[in-house]
């Protein structure tokens, strides 16, 4: 019971990290496309 909120927080944190990584990759890809 005690670990459940922590697990939910950790899961949302991982999802947020993945979202930011995707955004960063898209920005890098766009910059590469503009340069090339």
Task: In whole angstroms, give the CA distance from residue 7 to residue 32.
Answer: 37
pTM for the full predicted model: 0.58
pLDDT tens string 1-36: 567 888 889 999 999 999 999 999 999 999 888 766
* 29 token code pair: 């890809």
Task: In whole angstroms, give the CA distance from residue 15 to residue 2.
Answer: 21
Q: What is the DSSP letter of 7?
A: H
Q: Where are the domains of the chain?
A: 1-36
User: Distance of CA 17 to CAs 14, 29, 36, Å?
Assistant: 5, 18, 28
What was the pLDDT predicted at 12?
94
SS3 36: coil
């Amino acid at each position: 019971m005690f670990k459940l909120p922590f697990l939910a927080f950790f899961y949302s944190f991982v999802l947020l990290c993945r979202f930011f990584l995707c955004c960063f990759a898209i920005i890098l890809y766009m910059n590469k496309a503009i340069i090339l």
